[in-house]
Structure 1
Amino acid sequence: MTSASPFWTPSRHADRRPRLAARARLAALIRSHFATESFLEVEPAALQASPGAEAHLHAFATTMIGPDGVPRPAYLHTSPEFAMKKLLAAGERRIFALSRVFRNRERGALHAPEFTMFEWYRAEAPLEALMADCATALRLAAEAAGTRILRWRGREADPFAAAERLTVGDAFRLHAAIDLFASLPADGRGAPDRDRLARQAADIGVRVSADDSWSDVFSRILSDRIEPRLGLGRPTFLTDYPVSQAALARVSPSDPRVAERFELYACGVELANAFGELTDPVEQRRRFEEEMAVKRRVYGEVYPIDEDFLAALAIMPAASGAALGFDRLVMLACGAERIDDVQWTPVFDPGAAR
């Protein structure tokens, strides 16, 4: 089997170039639109003391050697979130970034170890404002690519159509015939009923392992039975996630079992993740410690907690923030098959034949 020519081969680049040009147009449109909305573009540093604190995100670790010659651990960020929230604490009100971010152990049609995250924050704004921003981003992507339809592997979505809004609980009932909230404590406190959810999953043919946690079972049902059915025909906002699935989001004032979080889907692909941001440093520390306990149990490693971030959180204003996979959005607008198809210089594959 003959391997594909390198991306820098002139003939292959000529084939790729229309999509890359659309990518450049979209970046320009986003910058222009958000400037008109009084946003300031910021440039968060990629090198951080902590890469984040989510159990199932994996960072690239390195060593920083200062002028004193002492080596200290450092990481490439998995998201610019911590740095951008520090800027909110500093007094910024509306900010966005098109940041290069890095995630280890990720490679596939929808994943790359290095990619571009479009992330933005609005101080003193509700999540609905970010939904409107997401709808605008979809329309700008279509404009940049000269299309009226988003496409991915036989699925389509109209970026100009009014989005479906679906709670996580309703999605589990509609697409998996599972009563998710039957496994959650009514007051939002205490551990969820792992065995109850596992039995429901097994009843519909979803694989469950003996050592799976409630969160593991939740994630498998979501990825196997629900996500492929979201954003078909029109975009979908999936809302009201269980609190345990939104480590940096505040609890909903109307239901203690759920957090102020939504995700945007189109063509069965997750495009954006948004939070009504948690600003309680004590609660945030507790959640970080829980996440790192899971990481230690599953992967045998932990990341340091960013103490500077927790200190900044104490003076950060109420805000809503979102992170959108810029490469994925370009991919859907251009009808590309893989994220590598819309990256100017795809990350090398260490497993490729030499």
Structure 2
Amino acid sequence: MTDGKWWHPARHRDRRPFLLQRGQVRRALSGWFAEEGFLEVECAALQVSPGNETHLHAFETAFRTDDGQVSPLFLHTSPEFSCKKLLAAGEEKIVDFSRVFRNREQGLLHSPEFTMIEWYRTGARLTEVMWDAVMLCRMALAATGNEALTWRGRSCDPGMTPEYLTLTEAFQRYAKADLNGLLDDRDGFLRAARDAGVGVPDDASWSDIFSAVLVTLIEPALGDERLTVLHRYPICEAALARACPDDPRFAERFELYACGVELANGFNELTNAEEQRARFDADMALKQDLYGERYPIDEDFLEALDWMSNACGVALGFDRLVMLASGARSIHDVQWTPVET
């Protein structure tokens, strides 16, 4: 039936108000970044490595020369490696409204191709880029003229003072679990998760248990009425973030939530190439065990870390923010030509 296609006139007419609001939000956010002194950059999507996080899946392709030489390439899952190379080159405040690509992702909140806003401030504290993310939510809502961010009957006013919640506090509040005491106790964590009503298989890793509790009990409760900034992640969930100076068991990482939807993920960026390589190696070994594949490490990126100034950065899902600001039903309503599989 053609009336189910995004290009069918009736369906396009239904989606068009959300698409127009997408443009309004884009202009407002671009203006805000310009006023803040950010340089807007455009990072290449084709990379030698798409990123090295265990549970992110990439699209693979290849570059072929006229004489038959073949070089494997990937579509990036974020512009992070390229942005950090620009910081190493000497840029100080940059933002990219980047098209990014993630395989195995489709649904009301997920698309194989979407727009990510990624920005960096050199010499900044994590609290500064947390506030950037809050301001973007406020600017997006103001651009649509709506009263609140909304999603599936829930609402969030980004104008209110955000709630700041550590992972330790969140696990205690929503799962009645002492995360600090479980950091090195996989079996105890498994029992605590099951006691909280979370189904976890017997062979689940510590990170699997963490993710199951987070997704099942914690994330759905965040961002009601006001934004929630979830921060101080366990170091094993740090990805590319620095350890907290007061407790190296945790990392300077945060995520921003509205209406139970994750909008942004930010780090005080790790610049130690040796530590970063060790994390990549561990993540790719786990990826091989879980999915039977691994991605190459971008040696050029690791070399650039030695030249990079201290910085904080954030990745924010632009489509999700527009969806919540406009009141759309899914991110596909705010994408001009959504990928439909």
TM-score, scaled relative to structure 1? 0.95
Provide the residue aligned with 1:344 in structure 2: 336
**Separation of aligned partners in 1, 2:94 and 2:204:** 39
**Structure 1 Cα separation of the partners of residues 4 and 103 of structure 2:** 25
Which of 221, 228, 234 is matched with 1:236 structurally? 228
Aligned to 1:261: 253
The residue that corresponds to 1:12 in the other structure is 11
Gaps of 5+ in 1: 185-191, 350-354
CA deviation after TM superposition for structure 1 residue 143, in Å? 1.4
The alignment partner of 2:14 has SS state of helix
Q: Which residue of 1 aligns with 2:129?
A: 130
Q: What is the deviation of 1:300?
A: 0.6
Encode CA deviations 1:130-175: one digit per residue, 9 max, x unaligned. Answer: 1111111011111121112111011110021110000000000001
Match of 1:291?
283
Structure 2: which 5+ runs fail to align?
none
Q: CA deviation at 1:10?
A: 2.0
**Aligned residue in 2 for 1:187:** none
Give % identity. 57
Go from structure 1 to structure 2 and tell me whether the alpha carbon gap of 1:336 and 1:167 turns closer, same or farther (over 3 Å shift).
same
Alignment-derived partner of residue 308 in structure 1: 300
Q: CA deviation at 1:296?
A: 0.4
Structure 1 residue 202: Cα displacement: 1.0
Task: Give CA-to-partner distance per residue, 1:66-102, whole Å, 9 cap, x none.
Answer: 2432111110000000000000000000000000000
Quote the Cα distance in structure 2 between the aligned partners of 1:11 and 1:63: 39
- With 241-250 and 141-150 compared, the bigger mean Cα shift is at 141-150
Contact conserved, 1:127 with 1:276, CA < 8 A, in 2? Answer: yes
1:38 is aligned to 37
Which deviates the most, 138-147 or 3-12?
Answer: 3-12
Matching residue of 2:87: 88
SS in 2 for 1:257: strand
Question: Which residue of 2 is the match for residue 104 of structure 1?
Answer: 103
> Following TM superposition, by how much is the alpha carbon of 1:205 offset from its aligned partner in structure 2, in angstroms?
1.5
Aligned twin of 1:23 = 22
Deviation at 1:64, TM superposition (A): 1.1
1:293-339 deviations in Å (ceiling 9; x for gaps): 11000001100000000000111000000000000000001112211
1:300 and 1:66 map into 2 onto residues whose CA distance is 29
Q: CA deviation at 1:30?
A: 1.0
Counterpart pick for 2:203 among 208, 211, 216? 211
Asked if 1:198 is matched to 2:190, the reply is yes
8-17 vs 281-290, greater mean Cα deviation: 8-17
Report the residue type matching 1:216 in the other structure: D
**Residue aligned with 2:266, SS:** strand
Q: 1:3 to 1:255 in 2, by over 3 A?
A: farther
2:158 matched residue in structure 1: 159
Partner of 1:56: 55
Match of 1:251 in 2: 243
Which segment drifts farther, 66-75 or 311-320?
66-75
**Alignment-mate amino acid for residue 50 of structure 1:** S
2:100·2:116 contact (CA, 8 Å) conserved in 1? Answer: yes
SS at match of 1:162: coil
SS at match of 2:200: coil
Q: Which amino acid aligns with 2:234?
A: P
TM-score normalised to the size of structure 2?
Answer: 0.98
- Tell me the distance in 2 between the aligned counterparts of 1:325 and 1:100: 10
Q: Confirm or deny: 8 A CA contact 1:148 1:159 kept in the other structure.
A: no
Q: CA separation in 1, counterparts of 2:329 and 2:190?
A: 33
Q: Quick one: which amino acid aligns to residue 250 of structure 1?
A: R
**Which secondary structure does the structure 2 equivalent of 1:241 belong to?**
strand
Deviations 1:149-204 (A, max 9, x none): 111011110021110000000000001111111112xxxxxxx3211100101111
Change (3 A) 1:229 1:3: farther
Once residues 127 and 221 of structure 1 are traced to their aligned partners in structure 2, the CA distance between those partners, rounded to angstroms, is 25
Specify the SS of the correspondent of 2:165.
strand
Q: How many residues align?
A: 341
CA contact (8 A) 1:23 1:144 kept: no
- Contact 2:45-2:79 within 8 A present in 1 as well: yes
Q: How big is the alpha-carbon RMSD for the aligned residues of Structure 1 and Structure 2?
A: 1.0
Cα deviation, residue 3, structure 1? 7.3
How far residue 4 of structure 1 moved from its aligned partner, in angstroms, is 4.5
